Structure 1
C-alpha cells in the first residue's frame, strides 16, 4: 500500500490520467519484477469494487429512457464481437501458442480475470499461462487506454463532479445501495457480485430519483489506489524467464484484439451513431471494473460503457461454458 501511495502521488504530481490507479499499478509491477515479495490486497478490493459499482450506477438517471433506442442498436454488436474474439483467439492459442484445448479456449475468452481462471481450472486448463494471458491483457489495456483517450479527446483526468461531498442523507443512501446490492448479488450467486449488485441497486435508486449524489472523489481515489495495487501484484511469484514467452504470445493476441475492437468501434460509429471514444471503452476487452473506472473517472458516457460491459460479462460467463462443452463433444 505504501508503494501504491508513492506511485499514485507521483503520477498525480505529473498530472497523468487516472494517477492513483496507474501509479499504484506501475510501482507494484516494477517492485514485483525486481523480486520484492508483495501480497495482493484481500477482501478490501471487493469493497472498493462496491464503491465503484455505486458510482457507476449514479449515471443511470431518468434520461436513459431517451437513449434506449441508440443503446439497443449498439448492444446488438456485442454478441458477434464476443463470438469472433473467442473463435479467433482460440485458433491463435491452439496454433501459435500450442496451448492445450481448455487453456487455449479460456485464454481467448474476453471475460473477467477471476471468472476465466476459475472456469479454466475446472475444465483442466494450465493455470499459470491462463492467468498470465488475462493479467497481461488487463494490465496493458488499463495502462494504455487512459493515455489514448486523453490523446484523442484532450479530456480532463478526473470527474469534476466528484469534488463535492454529498449531504449526510445522500451518503447513507449510497452506502445502503452498496451494501444491499452486494449482499443480494452474492446471495443470488451473481458473478462479479461486488460491482454488479451495487451498480444495479444504485442505478435503480438514481433512476427513480431517490438520490442524485455520487460517491465523493476521495472514495474514488481510494478505489483506484487499491485496485491499482491489486492489478500490480498479478505477476507475484512468477519468474521472469518463465513469463517471457507467454507474455510475448499475449501481445500477439492483444494485436488481434486491437484490430477486432477497432473494426467494431467503426461499425457502431457508422451504424449505431455511437461516440467513438465511448465505444472504444465499451468494446475494449478489459476487466469490467477497470474499464468502468476509466469511463467514470474521465467522464465518458458511463451509462453506455457500463451497460456494454455488463452485457458482455453475461454473454461470456453464460456462453463460455456452453460452447466449451460443444467443442469437447464434437472436436
Structure 2
C-alpha cells in the first residue's frame, strides 16, 4: 500500500485541533471564537511544537478556497437594492480610505525602518497596508528579506483579526459577534440545498480566476451571489454550522503560517506588528469617527471597513458582528487595489531591478 500523502495525513489532524480550539474559545466567550480559537491553537503548536508539522507543509489552498467561496456567496446575498442607495455616501468613505492607504504606508515605513531596523526595501514592503501576495512578490524582486516580509505581512492580518473583535468586546463590555449570539444564518438548510450552493460557488471561483479579480476565490462567488440576490432567481442561505466550519478552516490555515519561525524572530515580529497594527487601527478609528456624520453609517461598520486585515478575514469579522459584509468587502477591495497600484508604482521608481 502506498504511503498516505503528507497533506492528507496532517491536514485533518490540524483541522481537528483547530476545531477544539474554536469550541474552547466559544466556551470561554471570546469574540469570533471559531476563527480566533483555531488560529491561536494551531499557531501555538506550530511555534512551540513545530516538529508536529512536517517541514515544507502547506495547508491545501484549493480546500481552503472552497470554504472561502461559500463565504463569498453569503456576502453576495447581502447585496440588495438598498445597498446601491448608499453608493453616493460611499464616495466619502472611499476617499478617506485613499488617504488612509498613503498615511498607513508612511507610518509603517518609519516603524519598520527606525524601530525594526529593517533595510529600506524590507521596511517598505512590510509596511504595505494590503495586497499580501503582491507585497511579498514585489518585495522579493526588490531584494527585501523575504522571511521577515512574510512574517510581518501575515502578522498584520492575524493581529487585526485578533485585535478588532476583542477591542469591540472590551468597548461594549460584553462579547460581540458569534460569541454573543450574532449569526448570518436565516434558518436550517437541508443537505439537498447545499448541492446547488456548492455548484454556484465552484462557478464563482472559475469566474473570479478567469477575470483575474482580486481575491478571486471570494469575489467571484460574491459577484454571482449578488446577481442571484438582486434578480431573485435563487435564495443563497448557508447554515450556521457551515459558516463556523469555514472560520475553523481559515483560522487553522493562518495558524500554520507560524511553522519554522524562530522564537527571537517571532518576538521581534510580534512587537513590530503590534505597533504597526495599533497605529493603523488608531488611524482607521479616527477617520471612521470623522465621517460618521457625513455617511450616516454606523461607526463599527466603518471601523471594520478601515481595518487593514485580509478580505476574507474581514468579511468573516463583518459576518460575525452582523455588519453588512457586502459594504465592508467593497471598501477592502478598494483598499487592496489602491495599495497594489501604489506598490507597483513605487517598486519601479524606488527599487529598480538590477541587471540587464
Specify the alignment match of 1:41 in structure 2. 59
Specify the alignment match of 2:81 in structure 1. 62
RMSD of aligned residue pairs (Cα, Å): 2.2
Task: Look up the SS of the partner of 1:160 in the other structure.
Answer: coil
Match of 2:140 among 101, 104, 121: 121
CA contact (8 A) 1:170 1:213 kept: no
Match of 1:93 among 112, 119, 123: 112
Residue 170 of structure 1: how far off its partner (Å): 6.0
State the alpha-carbon separation in 2 of the partners of residues 85 and 220 from structure 1. 32
State the alpha-carbon separation in 2 of the partners of residues 265 and 310 from structure 1. 17
> Which 5+ residue runs of structure 1 have no aligned equivalent?
none
Match of 2:27 among 3, 8, 13: 13
Residue 234 of structure 1: how far off its partner (Å): 1.5
CA contact (8 A) 1:40 1:229 kept: no
CA contact (8 A) 1:74 1:274 kept: no
Find out whether 1:162 has 2:180 as its counterpart.
no
State the alpha-carbon separation in 2 of the partners of residues 54 and 215 from structure 1. 9
Match of 1:207 among 221, 230, 239: 230
State the alpha-carbon separation in 1 of the partners of residues 261 and 177 from structure 2. 36
Specify the alignment match of 1:197 in structure 2. 220
In 2 relative to 1, CA 177–151 (structure 1 residues): closer, same or farther, beyond 3 Å? farther
State the alpha-carbon separation in 1 of the partners of residues 166 and 110 from structure 2. 31
In 2 relative to 1, CA 223–115 (structure 1 residues): closer, same or farther, beyond 3 Å? farther
Task: Look up the SS of the partner of 2:86 in the other structure.
Answer: helix
> Which 5+ residue runs of structure 2 have no aligned equivalent?
1-14
Specify the alignment match of 1:286 in structure 2. 309
Residue 62 of structure 1: how far off its partner (Å): 1.9
CA contact (8 A) 1:6 1:24 kept: yes
Q: Which moved more, 1:29-38 or 1:45-54?
A: 29-38
Find out whether 1:267 has 2:290 as its counterpart.
yes
**1:1-331 to 2 correspondence within 5 Å?**
1-36=15-50, 37-38=52-53, 39-43=57-61, 44-153=63-172, 154=174, 155-157=176-178, 158-162=181-185, 164-166=187-189, 171-328=194-351
Number of corresponding residues: 329
